[in-house]
Amino acid sequence: MVDIDAFLKKRIDESNLRTLKPIEKRNGSVIYKNREVFFDFSSNDYLGLSSKKELIDSVNEVFELFGSGAVASRLLSGDLAIHHELEELTASFKKKEDALIFNSGYQANVGIISALCGKNDVIFLDRLSHASLVDGALLSGAKIFRFSHNDLNHLELLLKKEREKFKNALIVTESVFSMDGDFAPLKEIVELKDRFSCEFLVDEAHATGVYGSEGSGLIEELGLTDRIELIMGTYGKALAVSGAYLASSKKIKEYLINSSRSFIYSTAMPAIVVSMIIKSIDICKKEHWRRDKVKNLASLFRGILKEADIPFKGDSQIVAVIIGDNQKTVNIANYLQNNKFWVLPIRYPTVPMGEARLRISFSSNHTEDVTVSLAKGIIEAFKKTI
Ligand SMILES: *Cc1c(COP(=O)(O)O)cnc(C)c1O
């Protein structure tokens, strides 16, 4: 066993102890904690769908049909007609041949990569890839090379040096990075993956709902759907429900149903959850204004920070205000919380050491006024604490 006391003491000494802070009530982007009200700038509810009543309208009817939980895994008696309906809808949403549902994005990435790769294979992974992608790669037993974040030269160098030593190769990245809010150079990576005969897995957790004409993701927006074999995404972020999917070929789906342990050995997603996802995708496709609004708010915010010379990263609906030091980041977050903005400090190991930051994520539920006030609050906090 690890030395728990030493671990916790180290976390406290480094201003890096995590604690849970329950929300008592959420209404869109307004949250209530300790009977105080905050504007939430740390959720992934980019399209503001989490409080849409339409999402639960179908739930009673679906409960009558399937009951509460699925009560078994998909391969036993938990495989419901409504799962197939969502898989077909997801495949058409992502414009791939077929799709497979997982209970969470974490389970999806671990289950997909560990099933598709083995010890004779090699995985090239962006250094800032989500923990679930890293864990899937580790579990697979494949040889792993991590290329510097979005660095095509480094990726090419590794491919030249290492690719031919292995049978199969997989390149893994995210389309919109969760902690930096930047985009992967997908077009260029697609060229490399073709040149070096690799398969390509892209995690669209933060792009789903926000990019593409109907919210399918960044891959569709860039016209790369047919050139990327494995497109993963979640239903729990912009789509505001829960769960995840892999959009791919029928053959890959059939293989994963027979081999992916996080798919096989887990109770299937409840039908009432599936019905909310179906409704959410429907709203997401139709209500384009939500995508436009969330992007406009993020640009407005970036413009104000830029003017004030506040350092930030991110070109998407996620903006990372980079501070560096843990304690300073915590102080600035506390200052903002005292001013009713729910903004959290993001620290190592979620981000690299010395790159502590505020991760600000926008939602179409936010207003311009609140966005401007938050930017001003950050400028004020920088003046006070630095
Ligand atoms: C959130 C996230 C996941 C995990 O998805 P969950 O459904 O929350 O388990 C996977 N990949 C990325 C990039 C994410 O941001």
Average pLDDT over residues 364-375: 97
Distance CA 151, CA 278 (A): 37
Taking the model in full, what pTM does it have?
0.96
pLDDT digits (tens, 9 = 90+) for 57-69: 989 999 999 999 9
145 touches 172 (CB < 8 A): no
Looking at the chain, how many residues does it have?
A: 386
* pLDDT at residue 370 in the model: 97
Residue 234: CB within 6 Å of ligand 1?
A: yes
Rounded alpha-carbon distances, angstroms, from residue 139 to 108, 118, 147, 261: 13, 9, 19, 11
* pLDDT at residue 111 in the model: 98
Nearest CA to ligand 1 atom 3: 105
**Ligand 1 test: best mutation among 44, 102, 112, 132, most atoms within 8 Å of CB?**
132
Residue 43: CB within 6 Å of ligand 1?
A: no
Average pLDDT over residues 315-339: 94
* pLDDT at residue 14 in the model: 87
Res. 46 pLDDT band, cuts 50 70 90 = very high
What's the mean pLDDT when you consider all of the chain? 96
Average pLDDT over residues 131-140: 98
Distance CA 116, CA 124 (A): 14
Share of the chain above pLDDT 70, in %: 100
360 touches 375 (CB < 8 A): no
**Conformation bin of residue 54: beta by default, left when phi > 0, alpha when psi is -120 to 50:** alpha
Does residue 386 have a pLDDT over 60? Answer: no
* pLDDT at residue 349 in the model: 85
* Cβ count within 10 A of residue 116: 25
**Ligand 1 test: best mutation among 113, 178, 208, most atoms within 8 Å of CB?**
178
DSSP string for 24-40: SEEETTEEEETTEEEEE
* pLDDT at residue 384 in the model: 83
* Cβ count within 10 A of residue 268: 23
* pLDDT at residue 350 in the model: 86
Note if 237 is an active site residue. Answer: yes
pLDDT digits (tens, 9 = 90+) for 243-301: 999 999 999 999 999 999 999 999 999 999 999 999 999 999 999 999 999 999 999 99
pLDDT digits (tens, 9 = 90+) for 165-217: 999 999 999 999 999 999 999 999 999 999 999 999 999 999 999 999 999 99
* pLDDT at residue 34 in the model: 85
* pLDDT at residue 15 in the model: 83
